[in-house]
């Protein structure tokens, strides 16, 4: 739970704009928080909601101890509504239900907040329904749309909202912060290429998850290179049981992509930029064995798998097909 002052360490421009608007009581009725995964968009949205409702705030900072702040922390504030994907999309009925909620008087004040996560996944009908809602703001209503792909939002929604772009945290700064938190450098380097958010990075490092994930990737790479007949066994017995959830599969694919990019760095003599710093010998070996065409095909296979995962392809089928392409080159 960070304050505005702490969030300013990573997003100074965003914090300055929002805190000034809070202090001057000039918040827009709708915001779009856009930027890469792990840049603190959701955290900023929750913090904005606290400052919006908190009756004891000092300047822009909420008190974190009043009833409103505590309810927001616990996720059960009656006048805050969070819209998440229902399956693979946000459907029109979800927006209609939201509008119905807003047609009622706030339970404890006239203020209401709605946060739409992964807003780019709204169906056309849902987006158009939300657009009408934005065009006719009701009372003291505050909307925050969170997205990693702002180009997929309706242009009319973008034009009726204030867009704030969240900058990625510098990799060097993130690594330094993680090392200061007791994370070893090799894990910190890998995490810093996956997310730019400190809290998410620490979560990935908790209980050595990222260290285990990293080892699964290296094991699969070893089998592909040295024991290709065992690669599918490793996939079934080691990879799939570990990377269970879709978000975990996405992280595993990201780690594979980092490996092949490291091989490219070895080929172009950029060893000071490699991420798998304790695997330099294996990386060098692959850099010598793999042609640029083969390496390009491998990287494309991993990138295609990442794209297909976003399109909701079954993770196990996706991984099996990717492995075949990696073996074929």
Eight-state DSSP code of residue 272: G
pLDDT tens, 186-221?
999 999 998 887 778 989 998 899 999 999 999 999
Which residue range forms the structural domain that includes residue 213? 171-328
Same structural domain, 80 and 154: yes
Q: The domain spanning residue 323 has which CATH number?
A: 1.20.272
- If you average pLDDT over every residue of the chain, what do you get? 91
Same structural domain, 266 and 222: yes
Mean pLDDT of 100-123: 83
Mean pLDDT of 168-192: 90
Same structural domain, 107 and 194: no
What does the pLDDT read at residue 137? Answer: 67
Same structural domain, 154 and 19: yes
Same structural domain, 11 and 40: yes
Same structural domain, 117 and 250: no
Last residue of a domain, one of 166, 200, 226: 166
Position 106 confidence tier, pLDDT thresholds 50, 70, 90: low
Chain centroid to CA 107: how far? Answer: 32
pLDDT tens, 272-323?
999 999 999 999 999 999 999 999 999 999 999 998 987 878 899 999 999 9
What does the pLDDT read at residue 138? Answer: 66
Eight-state DSSP code of residue 75: T
**How is 97-147 classified by DSSP, letter by letter?**
HHHHHHHSPPSSSSEEEEEETTGGGB-HHHHHHHHHHHHS--SEEEEEEEE
Same structural domain, 152 and 186: no
pLDDT higher than threshold 60 for residue 107? no
pLDDT higher than threshold 70 for residue 108? no
More confidently predicted of 108 and 273 = 273
pLDDT tens, 48-76?
999 999 989 999 999 999 999 999 999 88
Same structural domain, 196 and 143: no
CB neighbour list of residue 157: distance below 8 Å, 6 or more residues apart:
32, 127, 130, 131, 134, 145
Q: The domain spanning residue 108 has which CATH number?
A: 3.40.50.300
What does the pLDDT read at residue 177? Answer: 85
Nearest to 266 by CA among 275, 257, 255: 275
Last residue of a domain, one of 123, 142, 166: 166
Same structural domain, 162 and 182: no
Number of structural domains found in the chain: 2
Query: Is the Cα torsion angle 229, 230, 231, 237 positive or negative in sign?
Result: positive
pLDDT higher than threshold 60 for residue 117? yes
Same structural domain, 10 and 108: yes
Same structural domain, 153 and 240: no
Q: For 11-25, 80-94, 168-182, 234-248, which range has the lowest pLDDT when averaged over its residues?
A: 168-182
pLDDT higher than threshold 90 for residue 233? yes
Mean pLDDT of 45-49: 96
Query: Is the Cα torsion angle 239, 213, 209, 307 positive or negative in sign?
Result: negative
Last residue of a domain, one of 166, 186, 209: 166
What does the pLDDT read at residue 171? Answer: 87
What does the pLDDT read at residue 36? Answer: 82
Same structural domain, 65 and 137: yes
Position 104 confidence tier, pLDDT thresholds 50, 70, 90: confident
């Amino acid at each position: 739970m960070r304050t505005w002052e702490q969030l300013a360490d990573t997003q100074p421009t965003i914090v300055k704009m929002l805190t000034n608007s809070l202090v001057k009581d000039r918040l827009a009725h709708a915001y779009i928080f856009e930027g890469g995964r792990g840049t603190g968009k959701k955290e900023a949205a929750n913090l904005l909601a606290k400052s919006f409702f908190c009756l004891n705030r000092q300047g822009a900072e909420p008190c974190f101890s009043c009833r409103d702040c505590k309810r927001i922390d616990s996720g059960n504030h009656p006048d805050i509504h969070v819209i998440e994907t229902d399956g693979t999309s946000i459907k029109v009925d979800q927006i209609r239900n939201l509008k119905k909620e807003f047609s009622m008087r706030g339970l404890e004040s006239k203020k209401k907040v709605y946060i739409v996560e992964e807003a780019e996944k709204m169906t056309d009908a849902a987006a158009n329904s939300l657009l009408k809602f934005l065009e006719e703001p009701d009372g003291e209503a505050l909307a925050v749309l969170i997205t990693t792909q702002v180009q997929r939002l309706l242009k009319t929604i973008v034009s009726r909202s204030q867009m704030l772009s969240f900058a990625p945290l510098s990799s060097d700064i993130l690594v330094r912060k993680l090392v200061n938190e007791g994370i070893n450098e090799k894990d910190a380097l890998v995490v810093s290429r996956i997310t730019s958010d400190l809290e998410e990075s620490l979560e990935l490092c908790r209980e050595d998850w990222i260290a285990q994930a990293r080892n699964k990737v290296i094991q699969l790479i070893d089998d592909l290179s040295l024991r290709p007949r065992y690669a599918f066994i490793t996939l079934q017995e080691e990879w799939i049981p570990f990377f269970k959830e879709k978000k975990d599969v996405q992280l595993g694919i990201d780690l594979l992509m980092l490996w092949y990019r490291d091989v490219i760095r070895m080929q172009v003599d950029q060893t000071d930029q490699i991420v798998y710093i304790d695997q330099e010998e294996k990386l060098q070996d692959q850099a010598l064995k793999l042609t640029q065409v083969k390496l390009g095909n491998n990287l494309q296979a991993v990138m295609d798998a990442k794209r297909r995962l976003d399109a909701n392809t079954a993770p196990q089928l996706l991984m099996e097909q990717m492995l075949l392409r990696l073996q074929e080159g």
